Amino acid sequence: MVGKAVAEIYAKRYPAAYSTRWLQGWLAGCNTKVGGDYFDFTAPDLEGNDHTLSKEIAGRVALIDLWGSWCASCRKHSKELIPLYDKYKDRGFTVVGVAREYDNADAMKTAIKRDGYPWLNLLELDDRLGIWKRYGIGNAGGGRFLVGRDGKILAVNPDAAQVEAILEDWL
């Protein structure tokens, strides 16, 4: 509570300061735990069309998959989700991928084609949107957040078996 109060006061006094944005991101990251709320954002797809996460996952159990074309373990985990997506997508499950890329999206396009991700993938180019920081994984390669229909985080970095077990309970 103290951190939140300080952030609000500081933000009013120094709204454009880098430290204000850092503090707000840090506080948001503290909430990315089971039972916490997911962080909503708007990001572009590969065609440049903006998508707002809350609109994409409304009314569904969703896995927010933060990955990068350069992150082998991220891609391995993402590929393991494809059979679950195919099995549960018609029952109210979705996946939204967000690739953290640098300079351009060429490697992301290649990875999506090679790995065969069938879900919506958005682009976080050069950390401009601060999505990783907002999810509390600013220095990580990626992460996964399973979110219930109510917007609460059900699991952080679950593997495919854990996702399926939760989906069996929720869908």
More confident position, 12 or 34? 34
pLDDT at 60 (0 to 100) = 97
Contacts of 3 (CB under 8 A, 6+ apart): 23, 26, 27, 30
pTM value? 0.84
More confident position, 4 or 108? 108
The domains of the chain, with CATH numbers, are 1-30 (no CATH), 34-170 (3.40.30.10)
pLDDT at 123 (0 to 100) = 98
Rounded mean pLDDT of 117-132?
A: 95
pLDDT tens digits, one per residue of 45-104: 999 999 999 999 999 999 999 999 999 999 999 999 999 999 999 999 999 999 999 999
pLDDT at 3 (0 to 100) = 61
Alpha-carbon distance 90 to 2, whole Å? 43
Alpha-carbon distance 170 to 110, whole Å? 34
